[in-house]
């Protein structure tokens, strides 16, 4: 039941249904229904039906939402209460009253006809051969036809706007196409309210001034707030004499506003304007800044054959972090992870997503992440390897995020050994593995196995191989090194050696 009382107060307005309303004139023009208008004000084209309701209540006011074609046979209607009945139906916001002739009345009561004329309520005579359910079906059919016409119109407009956006001068083309689609005027306003570009005809005198005033209301700069996003098409509207106006704040941070004015508001207009808002937001977004331009230049140089050392400085000083992640299962996983980490530099091989970012990295729901330590551009290759190893450890330990710790190999006693001597010692200790066939796999397996405290299962997970493969490789390492890998001193010595940079 709507919010209402019986004192004559109009009920709170209800949301309109998702289907277009049916003009009352179209319903009367349907000869199969045989409806006849016998009272009420002349139809200027604005009288529409939102839905159909049947009631034989003496006072249907509490049960009406507004916009209905109310159907009744007048079971409780008398000449004495006809005026009060019509008054209550108007107060409830009904669009029209349909009176069914027979079985209660042989003709529409004259008192009801006079009351509807007096209160400005359209009164339709429903002939005996037409059932109320037939009238309801007629309204739903006309609504479906109107909805189909609206969808076809919106589809054509979307296609036209997309074609306009691909033209050499897209912004004026999109505005022109929008003005044609709405049969009105489209204006792009600057943050200060100046017209940057306008096209189409102004529907009524004074509409141009009113539209500029409405645009200032939604200008982001006027309220010192962030601009609307490209998909935010919420817009204040205003009706000027002879015109319907709307204004939309464009996304992209430029503070631009799209204003539209049309002689009448048609179903689908807001959807069409929303498409134009998205396109114009993208087309008018500020060009990439110096940082983005430098990164694009670095990629171009690499594609044209420049050595990485020459292209790396164009990325900017950083510090940069390399992130390896697994977990996304959609075609958009790489872009989604990169966006979450504040970067546009992402790559994927279908299994692992790699992101290069200059921001601090936090755990992301549904992802296992390995993060390198901050690195300068010339250290990104090593950082990529560190991120890969960190990801393996994250998966093995079921940890959402593991960071590579560059202080690990150089902390404690390791810091007492000069780098050159430490590297020479590592080469000597690992010489049998370095010379063996499949050396990279052996070294990586031994490193992961030691880092995971000799766990076969977790090492298999980290390396994405079978646990028997891990056993075979570790056993082979022990044989080549001729050392007991269960000895903690041996493990410590090998771990020290494996932390050195080796070919």
Q: What is the pLDDT of residues 247-290, one digit of tens each?
A: 888 876 568 889 998 888 887 888 899 899 888 888 876 555 55
Structure tokens at 339: 């966006």
Residue scoring higher pLDDT (118 or 9): 118
Per the CB < 8 A criterion, the answer to whether 87 and 116 are in contact is no
| Helix (H) and strand (E) counts in the chain | 18, 17
Residue scoring higher pLDDT (230 or 76): 76
Domain-embedded: residue 219: yes
Per the CB < 8 A criterion, the answer to whether 301 and 311 are in contact is yes
pLDDT score for 202: 79
For 219-228, 369-378, 439-448, which range has the lowest pLDDT when averaged over its residues?
A: 219-228
Average pLDDT over residues 449-463: 89
Domain-embedded: residue 160: no
- Which of 403, 434, 459 delimits the end of a domain? 403
Read off the CATH number of the domain in which 77 is found.
Answer: 3.40.1390.20
Give the confidence band of 349 by pLDDT, cuts at 50, 70, 90.
Answer: confident
Q: How far apart are CA 297 and CA 305, in angstroms?
A: 13
> Looking at the predicted structure, is the pLDDT value of residue 399 above 50?
yes
- Which of 342, 375, 403 delimits the end of a domain? 403
Domain-embedded: residue 292: no
What b/e sequence results for 397-433 when a residue is b if at least 16 CB atoms lie within 10 Å of its CB, and e otherwise? Answer: eeeebbbbeeeebeeeebeeeeeeebeeebeebbeeb
Read off the CATH number of the domain in which 253 is found.
Answer: 3.30.450.30
Name the residue among 62, 58, 90, 87 with its Cα closest to residue 74: 58
> Looking at the predicted structure, is the pLDDT value of residue 366 above 60?
yes
Q: How far apart are CA 138 and CA 183, in angstroms?
A: 30
pLDDT score for 407: 59
The CA–CA distances, whole Å, from 79 to 94, 111, 378 equal 21, 6, 95
DSSP classification of residue 9: P
**Domain co-membership, 326 together with 429:** no
pLDDT score for 2: 40
**Domain co-membership, 29 together with 114:** yes
> Looking at the predicted structure, is the pLDDT value of residue 47 above 50?
yes
Average pLDDT over residues 78-86: 96
Read off the CATH number of the domain in which 323 is found.
Answer: 3.30.70
Domain-embedded: residue 179: yes
Q: How far apart are CA 274 and CA 270, in angstroms?
A: 6
Q: How far is CA 434 from the centre of its chain?
A: 52
Give the confidence band of 473 by pLDDT, cuts at 50, 70, 90.
Answer: very high
Beta partners for residue 51, in sequence order? 68
Domain-embedded: residue 230: yes
> Looking at the predicted structure, is the pLDDT value of residue 409 above 60?
no
**Domain co-membership, 186 together with 277:** yes
Q: Is 496 helix (H, G, I), strand (E, B) or coil?
A: helix
Name the residue among 53, 74, 73, 75 with its Cα closest to residue 62: 53
Average pLDDT over residues 496-503: 75
pLDDT tens-digit map of 302-342 = 677 777 777 777 777 678 899 999 886 655 577 778 878 88
Structure tokens at 453: 């405290």
Q: Is 481 helix (H, G, I), strand (E, B) or coil?
A: helix
Domain-embedded: residue 307: no
Read off the CATH number of the domain in which 482 is found.
Answer: 1.10.10.2840
**Domain co-membership, 329 together with 363:** yes
> Looking at the predicted structure, is the pLDDT value of residue 169 above 50?
yes
pLDDT score for 489: 86
**Total domains, the chain:** 4
Domain of 261?
167-283
DSSP states of 230-295: TT-----EEEETTEEEEEEE-SSSS--EEEEEESSPPTTHHHHHHHHHHHHHHHTSPPP-HHHHHH
Task: Please provide the average confidence, as pLDDT, over all residues in the chain.
Answer: 83
pLDDT score for 269: 87
- Which of 349, 375, 403 delimits the end of a domain? 403
Domain-embedded: residue 479: yes
**Domain co-membership, 27 together with 90:** yes
Average pLDDT over residues 448-476: 90
pLDDT score for 228: 37
Query: 340: which residues sit within 8 A by CB, 6+ positions away?
Result: 364
Give the confidence band of 235 by pLDDT, cuts at 50, 70, 90.
Answer: low
> Looking at the predicted structure, is the pLDDT value of residue 49 above 90?
yes
pLDDT score for 105: 95
Query: 473: which residues sit within 8 A by CB, 6+ positions away?
Result: 441, 442, 445, 446
**Domain co-membership, 172 together with 130:** no
**Domain co-membership, 32 together with 120:** yes
pLDDT score for 225: 37
Average pLDDT over residues 152-172: 87
Domain-embedded: residue 177: yes
> Looking at the predicted structure, is the pLDDT value of residue 499 above 80?
no
**Domain co-membership, 444 together with 494:** yes
Residue scoring higher pLDDT (220 or 257): 257
Q: Is the peptide bond before 13 cis (omega within 30 degrees of 0)?
A: no
């Amino acid at each position: 039941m709507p919010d209402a009382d019986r004192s004559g107060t109009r009920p709170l307005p209800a949301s309109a249904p998702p289907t277009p309303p049916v003009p009352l004139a179209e319903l009367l023009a349907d000869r199969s229904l045989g409806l006849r208008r016998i009272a009420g004000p002349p139809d200027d084209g604005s009288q529409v039906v939102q839905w159909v309701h049947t009631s034989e209540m003496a006072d249907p006011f509490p049960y009406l939402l507004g916009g209905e074609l109310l159907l009744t046979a007048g079971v409780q209607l008398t000449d004495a209460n006809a005026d009060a009945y019509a008054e209550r139906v108007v107060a409830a916001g009904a669009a029209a009253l349909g009176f069914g002739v027979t079985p209660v009345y042989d003709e529409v009561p004259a008192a009801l006809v006079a009351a509807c004329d007096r209160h400005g309520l359209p009164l339709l005579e429903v002939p005996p051969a037409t059932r109320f359910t037939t009238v309801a079906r007629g309204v739903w059919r006309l609504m479906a036809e109107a909805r189909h016409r609206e969808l076809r119109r919106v589809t054509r407009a979307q296609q036209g706007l997309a074609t306009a956006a691909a033209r050499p001068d897209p912004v004026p083309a999109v505005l022109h196409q929008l003005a044609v689609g709405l049969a009105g005027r489209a204006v792009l306003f600057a943050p200060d309210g100046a017209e940057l570009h306008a096209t189409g005809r102004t529907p009524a005198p004074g509409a141009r001034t009113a539209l500029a005033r409405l645009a200032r209301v939604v200008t982001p700069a006027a309220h010192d707030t962030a601009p609307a996003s490209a998909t935010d098409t919420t817009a204040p509207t205003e009706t000027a004499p002879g015109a319907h106006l709307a204004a939309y704040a464009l996304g992209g941070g430029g503070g631009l506003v799209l204003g539209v004015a049309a002689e009448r508001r048609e179903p689908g207009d807001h959807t069409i304007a929303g498409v134009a808002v998205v396109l114009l937001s993208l087309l008018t977004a500020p060009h990439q800044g110096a940082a983005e331009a430098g990164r694009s230049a670095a990629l171009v140089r690499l594609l044209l054959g420049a050595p990485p050392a020459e292209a790396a400085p164009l990325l900017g000083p950083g510090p940069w972090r390399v992130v390896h992640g697994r977990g996304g299962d959609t075609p958009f996983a790489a872009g989604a992870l990169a966006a979450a980490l504040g970067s546009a530099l992402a790559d994927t091989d279908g299994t692992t997503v790699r992101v290069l970012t200059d921001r601090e990295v936090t755990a992301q729901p549904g992802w296992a992440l390995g993060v390198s330590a901050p690195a300068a551009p010339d250290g990104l290759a090593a950082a990529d390897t560190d991120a890969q190893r960190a990801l393996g450890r994250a998966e093995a330990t079921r940890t959402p995020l593991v960071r590579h710790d560059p202080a690990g190999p150089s902390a404690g006693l390791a810091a007492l050994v000069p780098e050159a001597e430490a590297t020479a010692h590592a080469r000597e200790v690992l010489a049998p593995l370095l010379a063996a066939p499949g050396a990279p796999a052996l070294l990586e397996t031994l490193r992961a196995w030691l880092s995971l405290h000799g766990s076969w299962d977790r090492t298999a997970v980290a390396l994405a191989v079978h646990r028997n493969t891990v056993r075979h490789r570790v056993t082979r390492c022990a044989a080549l090194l001729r050392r007991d890998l269960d000895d903690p001193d041996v493990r410590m010595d090998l771990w020290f050696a494996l932390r050195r940079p080796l070919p």
